[in-house]
Structure 1
Amino acid sequence: MNDHRTSSIDCRRSRRYIAQDYLLIWLHNDTNETNEEYQNTLKHLRNLVDTIDIFTNPDECVNFFTEFNDMKTFLIINDTISEQIIPLIHDLPQLDQIYIFSRTTLLSSEWIGKWTKIKGISAEMTSLCATLKLMIRQHNQDSIATSVISLNEINPNKNLNELESTFMYSQIFKNILLKMNYNDNSIDEFVQFCQKNKFGSPKNIDLFEKEYHNRSSIWWYTWPGFIYPMLNSSLRTLESDVIIKMGFFIYDLHKQIEQLYNDQRDSYHEESLKVYRGQGLSKEHFEKVIKAKNGLISFNNFLSTSKVEEVSVGFAVSASTIADTVGILFVISIDPSVSSAPFACIQKHSYFESEEEILFSMHTVFRIGDVKRIDNNDELYRIELQLTADNDQELCILTDWLSKDVPDEIGWKRLGNLLIRIGQLEKAEQFYQTLLEQTSDVADMIHYYGQLAFIKYNQGDRKMSMWYHLKISELSKTTNSGDSTDELTMVNRNFSEDNKTIVSYKNDLRLDFGEICHCDIKYIEYSEEREVSPDTLSFYEKSLDDFQRNLRLKNLYPTTSCNPFDPVDDHLKQSSPLLWFQRKILEIRQKCLHPNHPDIAQSYASVASLYEKRKDPYQARSFYQKSIDICKQILPSNHPTLSCLYHNIGMTYQSTGEYFTALCFIKKSLEIAEKTLPPYHLDLSFIYFNMAGLYDKLDDYSNATVYYKNSIIVNEKNPHIKDENYTFSCTKVGKIHSTMKQYSEALIYYNKALTIEEQLCPLDDPQLIDYYAEIASLHHKLEEYPNALLFFHKALHIVEKHLSSEFGKLFTLYDAIARSYEKNANYPQALLFYEKTLGISEQMYTLNHINSAVCYNNIGIVYIRMGQYSKALSYFELALHMRQICNPEDDSRWKEIQDAIDYLRELEDEDVIESAE
Structure 2
Amino acid sequence: SVHESLLCIWLDNYISTVPEAFGRISLEYTFFDNQEQCMTFVEESSDKTIFLITSGKFGQDIVPKIHGLKQLNTIFVYCGNIETNKTWSAEFEKIHNIYDDLHPLAKDMTKRIAQYYRQLGDNFEQNGDEADLAIDCYMYAQQMLADVDVDAELLLNDLENRINNLTRTTNQNQISITQKSAEVKILLSGAGRERHAELENIRSNKEDITVVWLDKTLTRSNAYIYRDLINKINDTTHCYSDYQECLDAIKKLHERIFLILSGSYAEQYLSVFNSLDQIDSIFIYCMQREKYLALRDEHAKLVEVYDTEKDLIVGVHHRTELRTYANFYFLDIRSQQLTRQTALFLWNQLLPLVLKEQTSVGETKHKKLLEICRDYYRDNKRQLALIDEFEQNYCALKSIVWYSKSSFVHKLVNKALRTHDHEKLNAFGYYINDLRQLLLESCKHLKQAKLKVYRGLTMSMNEIEKLKLNIGNIISFNGFLSTSRSRDVALVYSGRSANKEYLNSVLFEIECILVNQSVVVADIADASEYPEEKEVLFDMGTVFEIQMMDYDKKTKLWIFHLCMTKNQSTKMVRTFEIVQDYIDLAKKQFNEDNIRLLFAKLMCYLGEYSKIEEYFKQILNTLPEKQTDIIHLLVRVAEIQQKNGKFDQALEGYKNILDKQLCHPDIGLTYSKIGSIYLVKNDYQNALISLAKGLEIQAKCLPSYHPNLNQTLAQLTQIQHKMAADEVADQLLKKFETMKETYSIYIYTDSPDIVVDHKPWSKQKYSKVKLMCNTLDHLFFKLKHDLAQYYQDIGEKYIESKNYSQAKLYYNISTKYYSQLKEYTEITIKDLSVRATQ
Partner of 1:170: 348
Q: Give matches, 1:272-291, under 5 Å.
A: 272-291=450-469
> Displacement of 1:402 after TM fit?
1.2
Change (3 A) 1:402 1:75: same
> Displacement of 1:251 after TM fit?
0.8
| 1:66 matched to 2:66 | no
Contact kept, 8 Å, 2:668 with 2:693, in 1: the verdict is no
Contact kept, 8 Å, 1:221 with 1:227, in 2: the verdict is yes
Change (3 A) 1:320 1:150: farther
Amino acid at match of 1:138: L
> Displacement of 1:369 after TM fit?
0.7
Contact kept, 8 Å, 1:44 with 1:126, in 2: the verdict is no
Change (3 A) 1:52 1:487: farther
3-state secondary structure, aligned to 1:381? strand
Change (3 A) 1:422 1:529: same
Q: Give matches, 1:311-390, under 5 Å.
A: 311-318=489-496, 321-375=499-553, 380-387=557-564
Q: Give matches, 1:358-757, under 5 Å.
A: 358-375=536-553, 380-387=557-564, 392-403=573-584, 405-406=586-587, 412-421=596-605, 423-435=607-619, 446-458=631-643, 464-474=649-659, 494=672, 527-529=686-688, 581-583=697-699, 585-586=700-701, 601=703, 605=707
Q: Greater CA radius of gyration, 1 or 2?
A: 1
Amino acid at match of 1:371: M
Equivalent of 2:280 in 96, 99, 107:
96
Contact kept, 8 Å, 1:453 with 1:464, in 2: the verdict is yes
| 1:187 matched to 2:377 | no
> Displacement of 1:182 after TM fit?
2.0
Change (3 A) 1:19 1:354: closer
Task: Give the length in aligned residue pairs.
Answer: 551
The percentage of aligned residue pairs carrying the same residue is 18
- With 435-444 and 284-293 compared, the bigger mean Cα shift is at 435-444
Q: Give matches, 1:236-251, under 5 Å.
A: 236-251=418-433
Partner of 1:27: 214
Change (3 A) 1:427 1:228: same
Distance 1:342 1:316 in 2: 25
Amino acid at match of 2:346: M
- With 176-185 and 86-95 compared, the bigger mean Cα shift is at 86-95
> Displacement of 1:332 after TM fit?
0.8
Change (3 A) 1:527 1:294: same
Distance 2:217 2:716 in 1: 71
3-state secondary structure, aligned to 1:216? helix
Contact kept, 8 Å, 1:258 with 1:343, in 2: the verdict is yes
Change (3 A) 1:134 1:490: farther
> Displacement of 1:608 after TM fit?
5.1
Give deviations 1:82-113, integer Å, cap 9, x for gaps: 55664664544433333344458874644666
Contact kept, 8 Å, 1:220 with 1:351, in 2: the verdict is no
> Displacement of 1:32 after TM fit?
9.0
| 1:218 matched to 2:395 | no
Distance 2:539 2:294 in 1: 48
Contact kept, 8 Å, 2:658 with 2:667, in 1: the verdict is no
Amino acid at match of 1:147: Y
Contact kept, 8 Å, 2:292 with 2:305, in 1: the verdict is no
Amino acid at match of 2:256: K
Contact kept, 8 Å, 2:678 with 2:686, in 1: the verdict is no
Change (3 A) 1:94 1:760: farther
Amino acid at match of 2:278: Q
Partner of 2:321: 137
> Displacement of 1:356 after TM fit?
0.7
Amino acid at match of 1:299: F
Partner of 2:439: 257
Distance 2:816 2:465 in 1: 66
> Displacement of 1:256 after TM fit?
1.4
Amino acid at match of 1:382: I
3-state secondary structure, aligned to 1:152? coil
Partner of 2:772: 766
Contact kept, 8 Å, 2:750 with 2:775, in 1: the verdict is no
Distance 1:209 1:313 in 2: 36
Partner of 2:826: none
Q: Structure with the greater relative contact order (CA < 8 A, sep ≥ 6): 1 or 2?
A: 2
3-state secondary structure, aligned to 2:527? coil
Equivalent of 1:56 in 228, 241, 244:
241
Contact kept, 8 Å, 1:346 with 1:358, in 2: the verdict is yes
Relative to the length of structure 2, the TM-score reads 0.56
3-state secondary structure, aligned to 1:384? strand
Amino acid at match of 1:383: F
Contact kept, 8 Å, 1:49 with 1:225, in 2: the verdict is no
Unaligned ranges ≥5, structure 1: 9-17, 503-522, 531-535, 541-575, 587-599, 617-752, 774-791, 805-809, 811-825, 837-917
3-state secondary structure, aligned to 2:323? helix
Change (3 A) 1:760 1:383: farther
Contact kept, 8 Å, 1:50 with 1:225, in 2: the verdict is no
Contact kept, 8 Å, 1:450 with 1:489, in 2: the verdict is no
Distance 1:582 1:756 in 2: 29
Contact kept, 8 Å, 1:365 with 1:388, in 2: the verdict is no
Distance 1:380 1:397 in 2: 31
Distance 1:85 1:131 in 2: 22
Partner of 2:331: 149
Change (3 A) 1:408 1:326: farther
> Displacement of 1:255 after TM fit?
1.2
Partner of 1:876: none
3-state secondary structure, aligned to 1:795? helix
> Displacement of 1:475 after TM fit?
5.1
Change (3 A) 1:193 1:770: same
Distance 1:105 1:293 in 2: 44
> Displacement of 1:197 after TM fit?
3.8
CA RMSD of aligned residues (A): 4.9
Contact kept, 8 Å, 1:766 with 1:799, in 2: the verdict is no
